[in-house]
């Protein structure tokens, strides 16, 4: 894992702790609404706070860059 991956993972850990869940649950591919909302916030935070690329965020979260792009846009629309 390179430096940006570690920083993204730190955001995932922070969000997991803040929401009373685990990193594994948030990286999982289920579509429960509350988990999707947290994932979208993680993607948005990684993009805005770290200026991470969509592929880098997707690599850590096991998503495509297109899924990350959609997650960031959805979070911004809320």
Residue in 19, 69, 24 with CA at minimum distance from that of residue 44: 69
Report d(CA 40, CA 20) in Å as an integer: 17
Say which CATH number the domain at 58 has. 1.10.1750.10
78 confidence band (pLDDT: 50, 70, 90): confident
Q: How do residues 25-71 score in pLDDT, each as one tens digit?
A: 999 999 999 999 999 999 999 999 999 999 999 999 999 999 999 99
Q: State which residues form the domain around 51.
A: 3-77
Q: How many domains does the chain have?
A: 1
């Amino acid at each position: 894992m390179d430096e940006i991956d570690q920083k993204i993972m730190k955001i995932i850990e922070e969000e997991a702790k803040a929401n009373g869940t685990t990193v594994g649950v948030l990286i999982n591919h289920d579509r429960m609404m509350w988990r999707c909302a947290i994932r979208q916030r993680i993607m948005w935070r990684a993009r805005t706070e770290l200026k991470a690329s969509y592929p880098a965020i997707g690599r850590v979260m096991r998503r495509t860059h297109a899924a990350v792009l959609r997650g960031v846009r959805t979070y911004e629309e809320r």
